[in-house]
Amino acid sequence: MVHEYTQLKNARYMGLSTLPSSKVAHKVCTVVTDHILKHETRVRARRAKDQVTFNHAVELIMGDLLTAAAHDEAGWAYRSVSKKSFTDTEIKGDTFNGVMNSLSELGYVVKVIGGNLKSVFATDPNNSFYPGMATRFKATDGLLSVCNDSGFELAAIKKHFKRHPNLQEIRLKSASSRFQLEKEKGRLLRFEKTDTTRAISAKLLEINSFLVDQNYQGMEFYGLHRGFNEGDHPSFNWNLGGRLYGGGEDSYQLLNKAQRLDIKINGEAVVELDINASYLRILHGLRGFPVPQLKDIYAIEGIDRALVKAWVSSTLGYKSFHRSWTPRVFKELKEAGVLIGKNMSYPSLKPQVLAHFPVLNDWPNCGIRWSTLMYEESEAIMAAMESLRSMGVVALPVHDSLIVPKSKGPLAARIMMDTFESRFGVRFVVGGLK
């Protein structure tokens, strides 16, 4: 079967975070589950615990399939079926694929297999395989007919199904490593639940529960989690990393800034408020150094601002001073049109930058690293979000910035500034208000 490429490309992501919230929706899911069980040819029945998991998987899948059908005439949804894509979901890949296979065999779902761009199947004349795409799924007329027979109205999807945070609130990774010029990301680590981790999870669950109840346009929200780093470091005590990340392959955090400003929260346009030179100001606060009182903290006479910012950022992201511009930074500067003369190398700029920022003079030996700065920043962002939540204000984090309804911009900016300054004892500047 030939499928319209544009329709497949515009498919809706299956975040597996939508559950039935009405009697009708529960009835539909029960009916579909019964159909699957009658269709199966299992030798042994599932254990009670496994059946509960299976039933839950049907609910999550039905929520995404019907939401896609309700929001787009084509009705396509997508999801990578690889096992590693299910690390942040309530169900595992085997269960997901088992349910989908059954729905497909029943004629309730159309499935279009996706895959790697280099796959030999890229030339499939039947277009049953689409290279460079995650696998696509679509509820058939047969499935929609079953829903209609149960009294389900597709137009009232929000009444029948409700999103909920489905992510593990905490993820812990080991320190990254380097092999030659290649950086190897840290691996996921298991950890024991303690009073500390329970407190972190509980706080984030409160925020997620508030945020998921809001109405968003131009984005999807599947919950936030905190990613802690360097869990194998001897001094780790849930105080390294901790940044807030949005779930899903189409997380709003992956949108560019212009796209994020097109988001609407509860029907209202937004602003994105950011902390100017967040890490640098936090470092000054932690070490008790006064922040340079300049309109632009990166302003050093005779040096392009972009070079100063790149020098500071690359230094704070490393354990020592660099010997030269890293290939990545050099490429970014070149693409931005920044001219790097012979006197503009990383080592050449070092004396001037250190004279401007004395706090960096003993950076290799001061005991503070990027993971410390990230943790402190994430704690301040969390505190600001909690203050705003107590006032009924939605705030979506993007690392050192918050997306808030435009009418709440001045309030949120003041909360952010006060929160950061009270925590670190130095002056912070918030940008993004229009």
What's the rounded mean pLDDT across residues 369-395?
A: 97
Shared domain check, 185 and 243: yes
Does residue 326 lie in a domain region?
yes
Which of 141-155, 184-198, 269-283 has the weakest average pLDDT?
184-198
Does residue 318 lie in a domain region?
yes
More confident of the two residues 357 and 9: 357
What's the rounded mean pLDDT across residues 385-400?
A: 97
Name the domain boundary from 131, 163, 195: 163
Give yes or no for a contact between 65 and 124, defined as CB atoms under 8 angstroms apart: no
Which of 7-21, 95-109, 315-329 has the weakest average pLDDT?
7-21
* Backbone φ/ψ region at 208: left (φ over 0), alpha (ψ -120 to 50), beta: alpha
Shared domain check, 34 and 129: yes
Does residue 268 lie in a domain region?
yes
Q: pLDDT at residue 128 above 70?
A: no
Does residue 423 lie in a domain region?
yes
Task: Name the band, by pLDDT with cuts 50, 70 and 90, for residue 5.
Answer: confident
Note down the domain range covering 328.
293-356
Which of 150-159, 184-193, 257-266, 382-391 has the weakest average pLDDT?
184-193
More confident of the two residues 180 and 236: 236
Specify the pLDDT at position 168.
66
Shared domain check, 247 and 200: yes
205-231: pLDDT as tens digits = 899 989 988 989 998 888 899 999 999
Q: How buried is residue 139: exposed, middle or buried, by Cβ count under 10 Å (0-12/13-18/19+)? A: buried
Q: pLDDT at residue 124 above 70?
A: no
Shared domain check, 403 and 268: yes
Shared domain check, 299 and 402: no
Specify the pLDDT at position 119.
42
What's the rounded mean pLDDT across residues 313-320?
A: 94
Shared domain check, 180 and 53: no
Whole-model pTM: value is 0.76
SS3 letters for the chain?
CCCCHHHHHCCEECCCCEEECCHHHHHHHHHHHHHHHHHCCCCCCCCHHHHHHHHHHHHHHHHHHHHHHHHCCCCEEECCCCHHHHCCCCCCHHHHHHHHHHHHHCCCEEEEEEECCCCHHHHCCCCCEEECECCEEEECHHHHHHHHHCCCCHHHHHHHEEECCCCCCEEEECCCEEECCEEECCCECCCCCCHHHHHHHHHHHHHHHHHHCCCEECCECCCEEEEECCCCCCCCCCCCEEEEEECCCCEHHHCCHHHHCCCEECCEEEEEEEECCHHHHHHHHHHCCCCCCCCCCCCCCCCCHHHHHHHHHHHHCCCCCCCCCCHHHHHHHHHCCCCCCCCCCHHHHHHHHHHHCHHHCCHHHCCCCHHHHHHHHHHHHHHHHHHHHHCCCCCEEECCEEEEEHHHHHHHHHHHHHHHHHHHCCCCCEECCC
Shared domain check, 130 and 88: yes
Q: pLDDT at residue 398 above 80?
A: yes
Percentage of the chain exceeding pLDDT 90? 65
Q: How buried is residue 182: exposed, middle or buried, by Cβ count under 10 Å (0-12/13-18/19+)? A: exposed
Does residue 363 lie in a domain region?
no
Shared domain check, 61 and 192: no
Does residue 307 lie in a domain region?
yes
Specify the pLDDT at position 122.
42
Does residue 287 lie in a domain region?
no
Which of 244-253, 314-323, 360-369 has the weakest average pLDDT?
244-253
More confident of the two residues 341 and 313: 313
Token pair listed for 400: 């050192």
State how far the Cα of 401 lies from the Cα of 429, in Å rounded to an integer.
Answer: 12
Name the domain boundary from 111, 139, 163: 163
Name the domain boundary from 127, 142, 163: 163
Task: Name the band, by pLDDT with cuts 50, 70 and 90, for residue 268.
Answer: very high
Shared domain check, 129 and 52: yes
Shared domain check, 74 and 217: no
Shared domain check, 336 and 265: no
State how far the Cα of 137 lies from the Cα of 99, in Å rounded to an integer.
Answer: 12
Shared domain check, 239 and 379: yes
Specify the pLDDT at position 212.
85
What's the rounded mean pLDDT across residues 310-329?
A: 93
Percentage of the chain exceeding pLDDT 70? 92
What's the rounded mean pLDDT across residues 356-377?
A: 96
Quote the number of domains for the chain. 3
Specify the pLDDT at position 231.
93
What's the rounded mean pLDDT across residues 320-326?
A: 92
Does residue 228 lie in a domain region?
yes
Q: List all residues 6 or more positions away from 384 whose beta carbon is below 8 Å from its beta carbon.
A: 395, 402, 412, 415, 416, 419, 420
